[in-house]
Amino acid sequence: MKKTTIALLLAASAALSAWGQGLTASFGADEASVPYYQMGWDTPDEFATWTYESTSSSTWKQGNRSQSFSTIDQSSTASMVLDYSDGQNEVATSPAIEIRPGSTLEFYCYASGIYLVYGAWKLYAIVDDTPTLLIDQFMWAQDAGYDGPSWERFSVDLREYAGQQVRFSFVYQGNYGEDEAIDGFKILQANDGDDATISINEGESVHFRDTSTGNVTYWNWTFEGGEPATSTEQNPVVTYNHAGSYAVTLTVGDGTATDTKSRTAYVIVHAEAPVAHVGLPDGAYLSPWVMMFVPTNVPLTFKDASTGNPTSWNWTFEGTDVTASTEQNPTVNYLQEGTYGLKLEVANDVGSSVDEYVSSAIQAGGEQEIWNIAPEENGDLTMMEMGWYGNYAGTNWLGIGEFAEHFDAPLTDAQISQVNVYFGKVTAASTNADIEMKIMTAGDDGMPGKVLGTTSVKAGDLAYDPSTVNATEFVFDEPVFIPAGSEFFAVVGPFPNESGDDIAILLCRREQGEKCTGYHFALDEENYEYLETGTWYQNIDDPLSLAVAPMLSFITTPDTRIDDPVTDKQVISHTYYNLAGMSSGTPFDGMNIVVTRYSDGTSRATKVIR
């Protein structure tokens, strides 16, 4: 009996061992590739492998710009550069390269966007002396809204050239255009081999693929520098937000044995120049007529919404107690009613970018229309037609009577004198039907609650003119009071839906999961008949904002800031500087330079010792 038991145990052990022997961890990625042609223009011999033609005193040459390509590739010592001049037709052409299947061309360029209208390059692929345009630098800059200067990566799919001998030619033409620098020219082939790497920019994602063999039942990934940093999915997608070279490790198991595969420096993430963007402060409203509408004498924290990982920020303000700041998210007060400008410049080791509002872009105080549609979305206004059933936010036969637009709470007490509604269709057979407009609070459930004010307009008086911007004005007999800190809704409807009625409010539709401020009230239904009861819904299935714009004014409160007994002026803020130039809202130990800012826009510096 004992011999039989031992024999069975040995057989089971051998079977388990054989089961584990077929397990091998392996992985690749959709973005993995191997470069088979590289040009960095770093040595005279390398530079000479291309041919160069010139028609002016300036030509393509070896050199550097103010922002060296070493910020992208530390091993780079030079780039192919061109100084702008008069009457240029400067050509740089590669030797013939046989393009392999699944190939991509990648290179970087450094230039300022503003002067490209006077001179820019075009990149051609030349096969049998026939050129084909791949990239027009000027048109690219227009489409991308590029300002620069910064190192920008270009990528071209070369699959249609597989098996062909191709020369690549940069042709610069213009008069006193822009200085150029080109570097990091590579042709890469998709490849999962051991020598493959992944080359991406900050913020891009990698689609990993498990290629392990054996009866794999679990996966344990580790992604250095990635988000997420770990995963148990078979084929995860990982985002890399910061420049560097990162390892990837996969451990697989079959319930008995495990195996591990690691690749060092597998994912190479390149830094990119930031793109400056000013985020809307909490308490600021969007408007059809200004970039943002804000109260006076209330702290507002501006948000840096830039992309590309900036490392420095330079803000310039008009009309505030802080005229300049290097904080990422500075807090300021607008001192008096008016319209003002704003500029944010961001930078990192690769380049810089500016987001600038003109001097009339920001309205502080006074009265203004507000809505939830960003300036870049203004051209996207449309209607939501539902076929035979009518219109969303208008005449319909689906039991959807009222429509509401949600607004964030004001930072100070406010009031609404009227609501302007922008329609796309105003055909009304029921001309005497009243269309109601209500201002309502937000209830505990976040839906429209208590009515604060009501007015109405006859269906026959709705305004619409396709040739101009024309709103229907729903005017209240008395301004509707909105307490500070209270979210509110502008609620319109119901609309007439007799034969011949066809009314629709313009709206901005967005992708799933994006901002949604549109709500609707759907009547309950019983035996195919609509009841008088119903329920409010946020339209998260089709996110949108209605072109509904309350005319809002902030109710200002007396300025209670302290007076300076020396100057008899109202103090806005104190900023403390130590001898090293560092600033703070509180004193440093030792010697301080104190800058006191006053409500009239002046300031005074004094020395104090703490």
CA distance 91 to 354: 32
Compute φ and ψ for 85, nearest 5 degrees: -155, -170
Give me the CATH topology for the region 34-190: Jelly Rolls (2.60.120)
From the number of C-beta atoms within 10 Å of its C-beta (0-12, 13-18, 19+), residue 483 rates as: middle
CA atoms within 13 A on the CB side of 479: 15
| Helix, strand, coil shares, percent, the chain, to 5 | 10, 50, 40
**Is 21's pLDDT higher than 70?**
no
CATH of domain 375-554: 2.60.120
Give the tokens for residue 21: 């022997």
Alpha carbon distances (Å) from 307 to 21, 134, 172, 238 = 48, 27, 30, 18
pLDDT over 70 at 609, yes or no? no
Average pLDDT over residues 40-64: 92
C-alpha 410/C-alpha 554 separation (Å) is 8
Query: Of 419, 425, 430, whose CA–CA distance to 507 is shortest?
Result: 425
CA dist., res. 483 & res. 498, Å (int): 39
Question: 238 has which bridge partners?
Answer: 206
- Mapped onto helix, strand or coil, the DSSP state of residue 100 is coil
Give the mean model confidence (pLDDT) for residues 559-577.
60
Confidence band for 255, pLDDT divided at 50, 70 and 90: very high
The answer on pLDDT for 6 being more than 80 is no
Alpha helices in 270-355 (DSSP H): none
Does position 550 have pLDDT exceeding 50, yes or no? yes
Q: Does the domain at residues 278-365 carry the CATH identifier 2.130.10.10? A: no
388 or 122, which is more confident: 122
Q: How would residue 579 be classed by pLDDT, with cut points 50, 70 and 90?
A: low
pLDDT for the residue 573: 59
Identify the pLDDT of residue 567. Answer: 67
**H-run or E-run covering 7:** helix 2-21
Asked whether the predicted pLDDT for residue 17 surpasses 80, the reply is: no
CB atoms within 10 A of CB 501: 22
The Cα 593–Cα 155 span in angstroms is: 52
Tens-digit pLDDT profile for residues 257-296 = 999 999 999 999 988 888 899 999 999 999 999 999 999 9
Q: Which of 414, 407, 27, 457 minimizes the C-alpha distance to 250?
A: 27
Main-chain dihedrals φ then ψ at residue 601, nearest 5 degrees:
90, -5
Judge whether residue 537 has pLDDT over 50: yes
Confidence of residue 542 (pLDDT cuts 50, 70, 90): very high
The region that residue 116 occupies, defined by phi over 0 for left and psi between -120 and 50 for alpha, beta otherwise, is: alpha
Mean pLDDT of 445-450: 95
Half-sphere exposure of 201 (CA within 13 A, CB side): 15
How would residue 102 be classed by pLDDT, with cut points 50, 70 and 90?
confident
Bigger pLDDT: 213 vs 349: 213
- DSSP secondary structure string, 197-263? EEEEETTEEEEEEE--BS---EEEEEETTEESSEE-SSS-EEEE-S-EEEEEEEEEE-SS-EEEEEE
pLDDT band at 20 (very low <50, low <70, confident <90, very high): very low
Per-residue confidence (pLDDT) for residue 14, from 0 to 100: 40
* CB-CB contact of 551 with 417 (8 Å): yes
Given a cut of 50, is residue 115 above it in pLDDT? yes
Q: Which pairs from 594-601 meet CB under 8 Å and 24+ separation? A: 596/564, 596/571, 597/321, 597/322, 597/571, 597/572, 597/573, 598/564, 598/567, 598/569, 598/570, 598/571, 598/572, 599/335, 599/559, 599/561, 599/569, 599/570, 599/571, 599/572, 600/569, 600/570, 601/335
What integer is the mean pLDDT of 538-551? 96
The per-residue pLDDT for range 449-481, each reduced to its tens digit, is: 999 999 999 999 999 887 777 899 999 999 999
Residue showing tokens 């509604």:
421
13 has a pLDDT exceeding 50: no
pLDDT at 566: 62
Q: What is the pTM of this model?
A: 0.65
Residue type at position 588: F
Burial (CB < 10 A; 0-12, 13-18, 19+), residue 160, is exposed
Q: Where are the domain boundaries for CATH 2.60.40.10 in the chain?
A: 21-30+195-270, 278-365
Q: How confident is the model at residue 8 (pLDDT cuts 50, 70, 90)?
A: very low
Q: Is 467 helix (H, G, I), strand (E, B) or coil?
A: coil
- Residue 284's pLDDT is 96
pLDDT digits (tens, 9 = 90+) for 330-379: 999 999 999 999 999 999 888 888 998 888 899 999 999 999 999 889 88
Peptide bond into 228 cis (omega under 30): yes
Are the C-beta atoms of residues 9 and 1 closer than 8 Å to each other? no
Q: Considering only 93-97, 268-272, 551-555, 580-584, which range has the smallest mean pLDDT?
A: 580-584
Give the pLDDT mean for 9-14. Answer: 41
Q: Examine the pLDDT at 405 and tell me if it is beyond 90.
A: yes
Residue type for position 100: R
Mean pLDDT of the chain: 88
21-30+195-270 has which CATH code? Answer: 2.60.40.10
Give pLDDT tens digits for 409-436: 999 999 999 999 999 999 999 999 999 9
